[in-house]
Amino acid sequence: MTAFWIICSLLLVVAVLFVGVPLWRGTSRNNAVVRDAANLEIYRDQIAEMDADLRNGLLTPELHEQGTRELQARMLEEVQTTGQPAVPPQRHPIRVLAIVIALLLPLASVGLYLKLGNPDAFLPQGTRADGFGGAVHTEAALSALEEKAAKNPNDADVLLMLARSYADFGRYADAARTYDSLTRLFPNEPMLWTDYADALAMAHNSLLGAPTKLLERALLIDSNYPKALALSGTAAMERGDAAAAIRYWESLLKQIAPGTEDARMIEEGLTQARQLLVHTKGGKAPRALDQINEPASKGAAAGKERITGTVTLSDALRNKADPNDTLFVLARAAQGPKMPLAILRKQVKDLPLHFSLDDSMAMAPEMKMSNFDRVVVVVRISKSGNAMPRPGDLQGMSTPLALGSRDVKIDIDQQLQ
């Protein structure tokens, strides 16, 4: 920050000199001296003309002498001599303007920056908050923030920043505890209840139970709060209630501009929910769902549906991932709905990661790995922390795998556009 202000000071000095020096120099010469010099030059020219006329016989010596005396007398009247008292210097308006600009320009610039600018903009990344209720990104900054929160337990801005920082560091239980404090201070803020539910779900790897109740509280306050609707739909899918998921996501879709990436993701979720609803109601399911609840393969029936392997990150994409970015490892049907059949959530700093996926990680009882013969394992680094793919996410995937596959190697080698 000190370097920033030094640079600003140097730029201000340059600006003042650029404007003030020309104004000051424009008034540095005495106007009387300039006028006297011009009169003397005119006198010399006139004497030279009379001398030329005398040489050419156009003037008599008497007329030349008389003219010379008259010029001398006139110059004595017009030109200031050294014996005369000096005229006191007068304040020149342009010089005064130069002084005023030199004083006001730095004051106005600093004042406007403090009013309209961001004094924290040049702080090192990780030691400043990213906007209102942002997050810090270093352990040292997090420790300082914890101390500040301990001294100011009712400071909502500090608590919100601390909760989001905990979430960024993967400390979801601490984030949930901090959101709990915030909801006690501000019980009518749907954002706090929703983020509380999200943090608690991350801590327990499920939106069922307490997180669902927190989402219900958020929707009681604001029935159209977008994040609460999105998570409530996901919670409904997790407990197998496709009809409720459709209601939540249709309400959410009404608030999203058509054709956007968010709208496409919601529509994809709605498609999966409708397919699941058709199946659970016993109606005619799409061909992609015909294999659900078919007798599983012998390996699956014997409890060997687990798939294990290792995830690595390509060297070419390593500088595009932050250690605290969310890492999803999920299995989905090779042919069928794209809803995850099993999902594991980690962070980039856990790479290289040895993973294991099985039916215990299913999001819904009706949609699990053992219901399918072949699955694809998808690995995604999400900048948003959302399992739905977004542009900029990093991804890798396997070829279709039989249940029970082991030592699968997956390299994250592409960036979604």
Own/partner contacts of 296-304, CB < 8 Å, gap of 24 or more, are 296/370, 296/371, 296/373, 296/403, 297/373, 297/402, 297/403, 299/402, 299/403, 299/404, 300/369, 300/370, 300/403, 300/404, 301/370, 304/403, 304/404
pLDDT for 115 beyond 60: yes
Q: Read off φ and ψ for residue 52, nearest 5 degrees.
A: -65, -40
Q: Using the structure block, give the residue that is written with the tokens 């608030």.
A: 255
pLDDT single digits (tens) 327-348: 999 998 887 666 778 888 899 9
Distance (Å, whole) CA 109 – CA 146 = 35
Most confident of 51-55, 185-189, 383-387: 185-189
Q: Which residues contact 232 (CB under 8 A, 6 or more apart)?
A: 212, 215, 216, 219, 244, 248
Whether 130 has a pLDDT exceeding 50, the answer reads no
- My answer on whether omega of the bond before 323 falls inside 30° of 0, hence cis, is no
Answer yes or no: pTM beyond 0.85: no
Nearest to 373 by CA among 339, 403, 394, 400: 403
Half-sphere exposure of 15 (CA within 13 A, CB side): 15
What pLDDT does residue 332 have?
A: 86
User: How many residues are given for the chain?
Assistant: 417
Domain boundaries for CATH 1.25.40.10 within the chain: 170-280
User: Residue 85 pLDDT more than 70?
Assistant: no
| pLDDT value of position 7 | 77
Question: What does the pLDDT average to over 34-60?
Answer: 77
Arithmetic mean of pLDDT, 315-322: 91
Task: Please enumerate, as own/partner, the contacts of 12-19 that have beta carbons within 8 Å and a separation of 24 or more.
Answer: 12/105, 12/106, 12/109, 15/105, 15/109, 16/101, 16/102, 16/105, 16/106, 19/98, 19/101, 19/105
What per-residue confidence (pLDDT) applies to 126?
A: 41
pLDDT for the residue numbered 75: 74
Cα separation, 325 vs 21, in Å, equals 54
In the chain, what percentage of residues exceed pLDDT 90?
A: 28
Is the model's pLDDT at 13 over the cut of 60? yes
Q: What CATH number labels 170-280?
A: 1.25.40.10
Higher pLDDT, 72 or 330: 330
Residue 96: strand, helix, or coil: helix
pLDDT, tens digit, for every residue of 186-219?
Answer: 999 999 999 999 999 888 878 888 999 999 999 9
| Residue 291, pLDDT above cutoff 80 | no
Where exactly does CATH 2.60.40.1120 map onto the chain? 298-415
∠ CA(274), CA(275), CA(280), 5° rounding? Answer: 95
Architecture of domain 298-415: Sandwich (2.60)
pLDDT of residue 82: 45
Stronger pLDDT, 292 or 89, i.e. the higher one:
89
**Residue 229 binned pLDDT confidence (cut-offs 50, 70, 90):** very high
Count how many Cα atoms sit within 13 Å of the Cα of residue 108 in the half-sphere of its side chain.
Answer: 8
The pLDDT of residue 15 is 77
Tens digit of pLDDT for each residue in 254-269?
A: 998 888 888 888 888 8
Task: Share the mean pLDDT of the chain.
Answer: 78
User: Distance between CA 9 and CA 16 in Å, rounded?
Assistant: 11
What digits encode the pLDDT tens for the residues 175-185?
999 999 999 99
